[in-house]
Structure 1
Amino acid sequence: MTRTVDATARVPACLAGARLDQAAAELFGEYSRQRLKTWINRGELTVDGARAKPKARLHGEETLALHATLEDEQRFVAQNIPLDVVFEDDHLLIVNKPAGMVVHPAAGNPDGTLLNALLHHHPALAEIPRAGIVHRLDKDTTGLLMIAKTLPAQAALVEQLQARTVSRQYDAVAIGTPVAGATVDAPIGRHPKDRKRQAVNASGKPAVTHFRVVERFRTHTHVRCRLETGRTHQIRVHMAHACYPLIGDALYGGRPKLPPGAAEPLKEILREFPRQALHARRLAFQHPHTGQEMTFRAPLPDDLLMLLDYLREDHQTMR
């Protein structure tokens, strides 16, 4: 199902000189800037009846006309899949995603996703693009995700992400022992030969990851990462680029590293750990309706706690 969006607005004198996409974001604030930019490029948002580019400068007093369609998510089935709800009000929802759950249906994963679960939990999300999902986590990454329950909330949260004012922290267990934390400032784009992978690429988009040491073991390290940007697989790519790939990351991590003389249970868990050792532990942002500062934390899941316990025991035993 789809809905038609019809709206007009006159550009006030105070926006004279502004770019079209900037003015549109001010005048049609219930929609995200990216969505408005898409409509401009499609010719569904016009200036005095004519198409224009997003960067076109306005003089003031023009009429912006928006005639577009919004697909709702009723093309996806609602499924009664349990959700670990950390917070919920009339505007947003915070969930703690388990390992193995895909966020959005795609080829190979038509259902059983977070989106399907959200449609069952709150059917009105069918009227919000992507069922309100504002950002994503990889299938096997655990932790916090925010979901908007209204269009204005979605636009506000997307704008905060684009402005880099959302604080996102992750816990990871990396192969190797960095002496100290560091910042990886390296653009990320599609891998030139493998479309399933991302890579540090001069022609990619800017990407910045900060990491610091939480606990160091003999051949591995518990690190805490903070994102400035949100590129696909960013932490996994940046940590591998820094020569500290994540345990269990089959795509970027290579072969497991076994501490010399380690006990068999530790060797087994390092060989068989079924996913990248990555958890979205903390989210902080401004509430999209009240402006209140909101902070949420999700404890480490059992598999990461067990992994850290084995590494800690090995470290203490072999000192």
Structure 2
Amino acid sequence: MPFATTDDGIRLYYEETGTGVPLVFAHEFGGDHRSWEPQVRHFARRYRCVVYAARGYPPSEVPAEPERYGQHRAVDDLVAVLDAIGADRAHVVGNSMGGFCTLHFGLRHPGRARSLVVAGCGYGAHPGAREKFRAEFESLAVAFETDGPAEVAKWYGYGPARVQFQNKDPRGHAEHVAVLAEHDPVGAARTMRGVQMTRPSLYDLRPELAAMDVPTLIVAGDEDDGVLEADLMLKRTIPRSGLVVLPKTGHLTNLEEPELFNHHVERFLAQADHDRWPARDPRSPVAAAE
């Protein structure tokens, strides 16, 4: 199995399918590298698709030290994967936790980003709800440690922004819950505390986001209430951004509506590759981001 090695010595598992321009996928907290299968099957016909398991997610290594997890580290790990496959630049697609990683990658390494697809990104970002979300994240970390992932999957996999997937595609949702039940308890708890709980609010990053000159597609489900306000802020702030909202859809847009997701991402990638995803026309009035 191929592994990338990070600058702090952690081995990250990755898979490659197809040839051409690199297209790298970063997964959400509740999934892993397998969560992008509908995208790999579609895009590998035209792109060199790469999926990887974040640190703390087997078969990648699971460091025990809490200080070895963090938002900054997650971006470094994505860069380590690009280095391992010999890619100077890549299109990067991320959902939820992976969406935050993708966005921070664009902020820190814009020269290595052909484009960014930022899906399901924004949960816990609003500054007025930081403490509420931190308490929620801590409770989830404790649950992984005390009850174990199989028990957590029985309720976390049926959350208010995941039941839409269950209602539309019971078989696909069951596969998603099975992946969640296989999480490493140490890796999940460390990731929740080190990455999810401590990442900076997107609202505090608005000056940096406003200066980011990278083609960006923001994707949200209209029933994913935890991200909608933040995604509108991102659309209003990132100059070269567009926003797609999928109707009657929750948090797992790429799995819940794979055809719609792939369609919009494919059109975006084609426009980005041909430099046809410009900044917003200054003649278009821009509402103040809140």
Whether these two folds match at TM > 0.5 is: no
| Higher helix fraction (1 or 2) | 2
Who wins on radius of gyration, i.e. which is larger? 1
TM-score normalised to the size of structure 2?
Answer: 0.26
Provide TM-score, normalisation by structure 1: 0.24
Higher relative contact order (CA 8 A, sep 6+): 2
